[in-house]
């Protein structure tokens, strides 16, 4: 079945293109294809003599991108962006001029109710970017000890009510296994004291985030990626990373502080302006950091 057209709007598109300084003939990587918005911009910039390597763990994103970006100078690879060196080896490419990582969840994944990313989804609480890899979230919440669940929710979601939520999960699953995203979201809401005034974000946001990060090992992938990518950038080549919460941003910030490897081009993260936030609310929490590979860095 053909995947639906993308509903995902690229975040900080003008800023990404400005800082990456993409020119005709360059070879660049979009490590998180998603809806293909950034990939299209990069492909237009490199032109017919250049190349964009578009990577995504989600097979639906790869299928959609191959259809919607047909005719552009783009090669696709279903892979984790931390495996960029292996992707480039398969294409017989030693180094590229730039890499973009737009880390996290896409609007297309949220809109797919069969995968459990949305609080209103009747489908299973899966949360995997690649549904053939790893363990779905519903299985984790039904088998893991409450103490371990609480640790995940606190560490990856920075949720201060993690213990209460874990105890509620344990009590509910004793009667009946937890399966759908909707029922899990309701469970989380019932475990958290009501806020006055109500929070801007849904009460289950941090818990869903924590489980998604755990299921996909997102922070581990990001740490590995920022460590391995410099080996495959040309001297002066740039890495741009868009993150959406403090855990991701901290990893990128700390990596870019290594002056033997990186020259940081953004003292503080670049954020969306009011016009973009109004048009695309998802951009509100986006933080863009960019660094170039130092001329003196050499891979081991």
CA distances from 274 to 113, 249, 278, 280 (A): 30, 21, 6, 10
Rounded-to-10 torsion of CA 23, 283, 192, 155: 20
pLDDT classification of 6: cutoffs 50, 70, 90? low
136 shares its domain with 209 = yes
> How many Å apart are CA 246 and CA 23, to the nearest integer?
32
**Residue 146, both tokens:** 């409450």
Four-residue CA torsion sign, 91, 104, 249, 187: negative
pLDDT digits (tens, 9 = 90+) for 172-194: 999 999 999 999 999 999 999 88
CB atoms within 10 A of CB 132: 8
> How many Å apart are CA 175 and CA 171, to the nearest integer?
7
Would 298 be classed as within a structural domain?
no
77 shares its domain with 119 = no
User: Could you tell me the CATH number of the domain that includes residue 90?
Assistant: 3.40.50.150
Residue 200 DSSP code: S
206 shares its domain with 121 = yes
pLDDT above 80: residue 5: no
Phi, psi of 96 (to 5 degrees): -125, 165
Bridge partners, 274 (sequence order): none
User: Could you tell me the CATH number of the domain that includes residue 127?
Assistant: 1.10.150.170
Residue 193 DSSP code: P
> How many Å apart are CA 160 and CA 155, to the nearest integer?
10
202 shares its domain with 235 = no
> Domain boundary at 171, 193, 217, which?
217
The arithmetic mean of pLDDT across residues 195-221, rounded, is: 90
pLDDT classification of 1: cutoffs 50, 70, 90? low
pLDDT classification of 167: cutoffs 50, 70, 90? very high
Cβ-contact 136, 274 below 8 angstroms? no
Q: What is the mean pLDDT of the chain?
A: 93
Pairing mode of beta strands 233-243, 287-293: antiparallel
C-alpha Rg value of the chain to the nearest Å: 20
> How many Å apart are CA 69 and CA 21, to the nearest integer?
21
Give the pLDDT confidence score for residue 180 in this predicted structure: 94
> Domain boundary at 217, 241, 265, which?
217
pTM comes to: 0.92
CA distances from 150 to 56, 176, 200, 246 (A): 30, 20, 23, 19
**Count of domains for the chain:** 2
What is the domain extent for residue 118?
Answer: 112-217
Question: In the block, which residue shows the tokens 């080549």?
Answer: 237
């Amino acid at each position: 079945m053909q995947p639906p057209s993308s509903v995902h709007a690229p975040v900080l598109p003008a800023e990404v293109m400005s800082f990456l300084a993409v020119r005709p003939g360059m070879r660049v990587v979009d490590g998180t294809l998603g809806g293909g918005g950034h990939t299209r911009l990069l492909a237009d910039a490199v032109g017919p003599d250049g190349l964009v390597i578009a990577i995504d763990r989600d097979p639906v994103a790869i299928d959609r991108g191959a259809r919607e970006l047909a005719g552009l100078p783009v090669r696709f690879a279903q892979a984790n962006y931390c495996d960029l060196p292996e992707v480039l080896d398969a294409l017989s490419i030693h180094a590229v001029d730039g890499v973009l990582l737009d880390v996290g969840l896409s609007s297309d994944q949220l809109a797919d109710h069969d995968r459990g990313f949305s609080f209103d989804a009747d489908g299973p609480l899966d949360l995997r970017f690649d549904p053939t890899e790893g363990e779905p979230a519903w299985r984790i919440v039904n088998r893991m000890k409450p103490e371990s669940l609480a640790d995940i929710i606190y560490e990856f979601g920075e949720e201060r009510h993690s213990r209460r939520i874990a105890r509620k999960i344990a009590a509910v699953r004793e009667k009946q296994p937890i399966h759908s995203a909707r029922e899990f979201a309701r469970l989380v809401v019932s475990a958290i004291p009501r806020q006055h005034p109500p929070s801007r974000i849904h009460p289950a946001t941090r818990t869903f985030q924590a489980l998604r990060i755990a299921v996909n090992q997102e922070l581990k992938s990001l740490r590995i990626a920022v460590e391995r990518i410099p080996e495959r950038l040309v001297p002066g080549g740039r890495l741009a990373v868009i993150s959406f919460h403090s855990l991701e941003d901290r990893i990128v910030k700390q990596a870019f502080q290594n002056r033997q490897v990186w020259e940081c081009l953004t003292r503080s993260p670049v954020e969306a302006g009011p016009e973009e936030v109004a048009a695309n609310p998802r951009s509100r929490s986006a933080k863009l950091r960019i660094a170039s590979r130092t001329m003196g860095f050499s891979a081991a």
